C-alpha cells in the first residue's frame, strides 16, 4: 500500500519536473505545448524578420508565406490553419495582400486573438499608391511599404505596441529592440540617400519586374518607370512589352531589374531590345543567407537590394556596403522555405 502511494507521488513529481523543464526549452517547434511565450503568426518573410527582431526571446514568431514564393497569389495550405488556431496574435501586411490567409485566420483563430493589418494601420488611404501592377480599378493598392525604411520603422512600432499589449512583462525588451531596429533602419535610409548621389544624373529610374518599390521611390526621389508584372501576375501582353521597350529607349534607362522570385524571360527580352543591362538578382521576399544567419533579415535584404540597384544604375554603394548587418536579438523565428 505505502509503496504504491510513493510510486504515484514519484510519478506525479516527475511529470511536474518535465513540465517545468520544457518551459524554457529552445527547440523552436511551434507545436511545443510547454513553451508558454506568446505565439505570433506572421506572413511574408520581411515582416517575420521585423517581428522577430522586436520579439527577441520574449515571443515565438512563425511565418506563413514560404520565402521565394509569390505572396500576392499565395493560398495557405490546410496545415497553416493549425498555426492560426494556436496563435496569440496574427500580424499581416494588409492592404489586400493576404486576404486568403486573413480569411483562414478568421475561421480558425482563438476568440482573444487579434488579426492586425500593419500596413493598413500605418498608411492613410490618401497615401495609397495605385500603379502598373496595382491599378485602382482592381481596388488593391501597392502593398510594399516595408521596402521603404521609414515605413519599416512604423511597422516595427506597431509590432512593439501589439507585443507590449499582449505581454506587458516584456515591455522593456520590446522597447529596446525597437530602438535598435529604428537605428538600423535609419542608418540604412541615410546610406541609400548618400549612395544615390553617386548615380549619374538622371539615372535614378527604376524598371523592375515586380512592383515593390513605389513608396520607397516616392520618398527617396527615384522615378519608377514601370513594372512588367501585370495585376494578374501572369506575363505581360506583347503590346505592353512593346510599350515598355519604347519607354526604356525614350528615357535612356541603363539597367532593368528582375528578381530571383520572379525570373522573367520578358525582362530579358526588353533588355535585348533596348540595350539596357538586365540585372536579375534582386530578392523580393527572399532573405539572403539561411534562417539564423545575421543577413537573413529585413536589414540584410534591403542592404542587398539597394546596393544592387545603386551599382546597377552606375553608382558606388560605399555607405550601403559598409553597413554591418548585426542581429538585434536572438533570431529564432520559423521561416518556411
Ligand atoms: Zn510583392
Q: Which three cell numbers stand for residue 92?
A: 499581416
CA of 134 to the centre of ligand 1 (A): 11
CA of 71 to the centre of ligand 1 (A): 6
Give yes or no for a contact between 76 and 64, defined as CB atoms under 8 angstroms apart: yes
CA of 15 to the centre of ligand 1 (A): 47
CA of 19 to the centre of ligand 1 (A): 42
Residue 279 CA to residue 255 CA, distance in Å, equals 7
- H or E stretch including 149? helix 149-166
Q: What is the pLDDT of residue 317?
A: 98
CA of 70 to the centre of ligand 1 (A): 7
Q: Mean pLDDT for each consecutive 10-residue tract of the chain (337 residues)?
A: 40 38 39 82 98 97 94 95 98 98 98 98 97 91 97 98 97 98 98 98 91 96 87 81 90 89 84 93 90 96 97 97 93 91
CA of 226 to the centre of ligand 1 (A): 14
CA of 245 to the centre of ligand 1 (A): 23
CA of 96 to the centre of ligand 1 (A): 12
Residue 51 CA to residue 2 CA, distance in Å, equals 54
CA of 133 to the centre of ligand 1 (A): 10
CA of 44 to the centre of ligand 1 (A): 9
Q: How far is CA 302 from CA 24, 97, 223, 299, in A?
A: 33, 20, 18, 5
CA of 72 to the centre of ligand 1 (A): 6
CA of 21 to the centre of ligand 1 (A): 41
The domains of the chain, with CATH numbers, are 32-187 (3.40.50.1980), 189-322 (3.40.50.1980)
CA of 147 to the centre of ligand 1 (A): 10
CA of 210 to the centre of ligand 1 (A): 7
CA of 118 to the centre of ligand 1 (A): 15
Residue 66 CA to residue 163 CA, distance in Å, equals 23
Q: What is the pLDDT of residue 144?
A: 97
For the whole model, what pTM was predicted? 0.88
* Cβ-based neighbour number of residue 150 at 10 Å: 15
CA of 145 to the centre of ligand 1 (A): 10
Q: What order do you get walking across the sheet with 60-62 strand by strand?
A: 60-62, 39-42, 89-92, 114-117
Give yes or no for a contact between 149 and 189, defined as CB atoms under 8 angstroms apart: yes
Residue 306 CA to residue 310 CA, distance in Å, equals 6
CA of 320 to the centre of ligand 1 (A): 23
The separation between CA 20 and the C-alpha centre of its own chain, rounded to angstroms, equals 35
Q: What is the pLDDT of residue 3?
A: 40
CA of 211 to the centre of ligand 1 (A): 7
Amino acid at each position: 500500500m505505502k509503496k504504491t502511494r510513493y510510486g504515484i507521488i514519484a510519478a506525479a513529481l516527475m511529470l511536474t519536473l518535465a513540465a517545468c523543464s520544457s518551459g524554457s526549452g529552445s527547440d523552436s517547434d511551434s507545436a511545443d505545448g510547454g513553451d508558454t511565450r506568446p505565439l505570433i503568426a506572421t506572413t511574408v518573410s520581411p515582416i517575420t524578420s521585423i517581428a522577430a527582431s522586436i520579439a527577441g526571446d520574449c515571443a515565438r514568431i512563425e511565418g506563413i508565406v514560404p520565402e521565394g514564393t509569390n505572396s500576392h497569389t499565395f493560398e495557405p495550405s490546410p496545415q497553416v490553419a493549425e498555426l492560426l488556431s494556436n496563435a496569440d496574435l496574427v500580424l499581416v501586411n494588409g492592404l489586400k495582400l493576404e486576404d486568403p490567409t486573413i480569411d483562414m485566420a478568421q475561421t480558425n483563430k482563438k476568440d482573444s486573438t487579434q488579426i492586425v493589418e500593419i500596413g493598413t494601420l500605418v498608411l492613410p488611404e490618401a497615401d495609397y499608391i495605385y500603379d502598373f501592377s496595382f491599378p485602382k480599378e482592381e481596388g488593391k493598392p501597392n502593398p510594399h511599404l516595408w521596402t521603404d525604411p521609414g515605413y519599416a520603422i512604423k511597422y516595427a512600432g506597431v509590432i512593439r505596441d501589439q507585443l507590449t499589449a499582449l505581454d506587458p512583462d516584456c515591455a522593456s525588451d520590446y522597447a529596446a529592440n525597437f530602438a535598435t531596429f529604428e537605428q538600423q533602419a535609419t542608418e540604412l535610409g541615410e546610406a541609400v540617400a548618400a549612395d544615390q548621389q553617386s548615380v549619374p544624373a538622371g539615372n535614378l529610374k527604376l524598371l523592375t519586374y515586380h512592383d515593390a518599390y513605389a513608396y520607397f521611390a516616392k520618398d527617396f526621389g527615384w522615378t519608377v518607370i514601370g513594372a512588367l508584372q501585370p495585376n494578374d501576375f501572369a506575363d505581360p501582353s506583347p503590346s505592353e512589352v512593346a510599350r515598355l521597350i519604347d519607354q526604356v529607349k525614350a528615357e535612356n534607362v541603363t539597367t532593368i531589374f528582375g528578381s530571383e522570385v520572379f525570373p522573367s524571360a520578358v525582362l530579358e527580352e526588353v533588355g535585348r531590345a533596348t540595350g539596357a543591362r538586365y540585372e536579375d538578382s534582386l530578392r523580393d521576399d527572399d532573405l539572403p543567407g539561411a534562417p539564423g544567419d545575421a543577413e537573413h533579415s529585413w536589414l540584410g535584404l534591403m542592404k542587398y537590394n539597394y546596393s544592387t540597384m545603386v551599382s546597377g544604375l552606375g553608382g558606388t554603394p560605399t555607405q550601403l556596403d559598409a553597413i554591418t548587418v548585426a542581429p538585434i536579438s536572438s533570431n529564432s523565428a520559423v521561416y518556411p522555405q
